[in-house]
Structure 1
Amino acid sequence: MEQAVFTVNNVWMMVATALVFIMHLGFAALESGLTRSKNTTNVLFKNTLIPGIGLLTYALVGFNLMYPGFASGTSMDFFGFSGFGLTLPEGGETNAYNAGYTYWTDFLFQGMFAATCATIVSGAVAERIKLHSFMIFSVLFVAITYPIIGSWKWGYGWLNTLGFLDFAGSTLVHSVGGWGALAGILLLGARIGKYEGKKVNPIAGHSMPLAVLGTFMLWLGWFGFNGGSVLSADPGAVSRVLVTTSLAAAAGGLAAAFTILFTTKKYDLGMVLNGILAGLVGITAGADVMGVLDAVLIGLISGVIVVFSVLAFDKLKIDDPVGALSVHLVCGIFGTLAVGIFGSKAGLNQLMIQALGVAACGAAAFGTAFLFFFVLKKTMGIRVTPEEEIEGLDHHEHGMSAYVLHNAEVSSKVEVTAHTNGAVTKEKPVAVH
């Protein structure tokens, strides 16, 4: 019976791992949909390599940086490292390692999380960053920044001993990625034409269907992201987490829809998508300790916050093509603090501990990311030339286009003369980017 329960637990953890893997497809679709068609191949290329970078760097150093062997409940350590590579411990393929999963399952599940951090940065710096510079940054961020910060809580380091709570990573994954994204944006600057004086010029993405597909893929993947963080197939705990996760996502989407409607008098689909993701990020820190009403309130507040955050970043001329800062950074911070405000762990003391964790993780993530980007900027450069940016990264970085359009759909530099009812009309069709 004990072996059967262990097998069921491990199978669920592998299913959850697969669901988290699917999130990378969601990020790829969402980011490419919310950016211009001339940069689609570039966005997809980054999102295709990031899981590979994440898994390999996590196998080489990240896993043993994140789980260095700190003593649970007593360690006040900030840093530890238990060696390079993966080494199967004695009993690692049995329940002697853990009642819920094997050593291999543990690595793979955690490795999928690691890659998510770099994916968050990818969308925020899209359409103007040099590909090779971003790839180098991703290796450094996933290999060093993410696992060290993660060890403070999930590796039983000092934040865990203080009582900091982050169930599935509102801070340790999402806001860490968000801080990295902010550092990149500040050093890169805005896209050409985005801001002119006090005017904000919207730069529309090229495919809302792709963005919607990506959002629903992410929502699906979150069942593994949060549900797998139970670290077993416990029926009560897993089902409760899936309910709180989904309720927050639903509330976030609705809240964002009505908030942007009252603000701009428009039904903005992009804001609804960000509202759903905001609710998911917001609930992630406390999905295991929230009741139904708590989850709905967190989703509603996250949906409102994300709208005003997107508008505020534009006023500050901080150019984020996909809203990653608002979704992952701002709502990640809120979701972490919400553990001290809502649910079974609410209280002033817990709120103060949560705030300390947010500040410490934020300082470490932003500081290291800024350092990585700054060194890259001063050495090989991080931004493409104006010509490359205007013509599109697909052409200059990849020598190919994501879409092949027929001549009838592509503009010609030669004027086309059309005869309509005897009248002559000169037209210059313009290709959509």
Structure 2
Amino acid sequence: MTAIQEKTLASKVRNDFPILHQEIHGKPLVYLDNAATSQKPVAVLDALSHYYEKDNANVHRGAHTLSVRATEAYEGARDKIARFIHAASSKEIVFTRNATEAINLVAYSWGLNHLQPGDEIITSVMEHHSNLVPWQIIAKQTGAVIKYVPLTENESFNVDAFKSLLSDKTKLVTIVHVSNTLGCINPVEEVIKLAHEKGVKVLIDACQSVPHMPINVQEMDCDWLVASGHKMCGPSGVGFLYGKQSILEAMPPFLGGGEMIDEVFFDGFTCGELPHKFEAGTPAIGEAIALGAAVDYLTHIGMDKIHAYEEELTGYLFRKLEEVPNLRIYGPLPTKEGKGRAALAAFNIPGIHGSDLSTLLDHEGVAIRSGHHCTQPLHRLFNASGSARVSLYFYNSYEEIDQFVMVLKETIDFFTNMMG
């Protein structure tokens, strides 16, 4: 082990995550399913507990002390997220249950009111179902047409094909920043610039980028961006939508009811101001506050440091995977330094089902994911029903990668001997 590896980021933060210090089937837990959900540091768990133990009350319009404290913490979390992604104003941050709801909000509020028969939506073949199904529903209702950007030969986003798809009929581009299956980091800045030159709006699914790298929505210049709290050290049940203020102000509310109103009459209502007009009903208050604590935690570490360390892990992971014969990894290969893709690898091995692999790895304490990762159309392009996937975060270590690869080799040998 090198001196650099001895002083990894993981070694500094490991004790902040209680769940990682346990045994599974008598073996130390090696948690490598971070693209599905991340683990939570003590600071986040404490923030959630503190709200319910000390400040539990509904937010906004409450005069008593608990409500005031809850409101301050809830809106404070919004401010933290705005700073975290460099939004121009906290009014541009809308709390949602998750990124899926955030995409649906845009689809139903903006899409239903702006798309007409023959209009075109451009997305890609690598999208998560959450960035496909809402637009398929909206396209069916409006008569809009969806076009898909194919992959390059190295299984990345095909910019040339995207350019050829852009037309005067294009009204929306909605793509993922980092693929949860291919691991490729898409050139969203270039895509946004090309789209905006034709007056086309752009939505970015940033679920796999916001937790792992610095994000500046103003520099990126996207019209909307979505993320989920549970993938960035926060709790489940909360995410957010970023939208440019002028665009959000022009969009009608998605859901109606309490919290999103200004005044209600028997013959109608008026909406509240941003961002509240999109937050109908009692929100996930404690979860939003805890997400704010997660943002504080990530900010304290530094997103640049997290990204740099994960690049090191990526390079090491792929060097170790080279030792495994007959491994089919999807997506582009990283550079030797681990640059050019995310810290994840979806893969298949001929004759061995991904779910069988993950089950046997679990018996050795190694947690990875198997399935289609909510990218069924992409897997069909590869003639695969699914794949196994290992995904890393900044609390993972080189030793855990070693353990994973060792157990993976042993598992492959077991299946090979059993079939042979």
Larger strand fraction of residues: 2
TM-score of the two chains, using structure 1 as the length reference: 0.26
Larger helix fraction of residues: 1
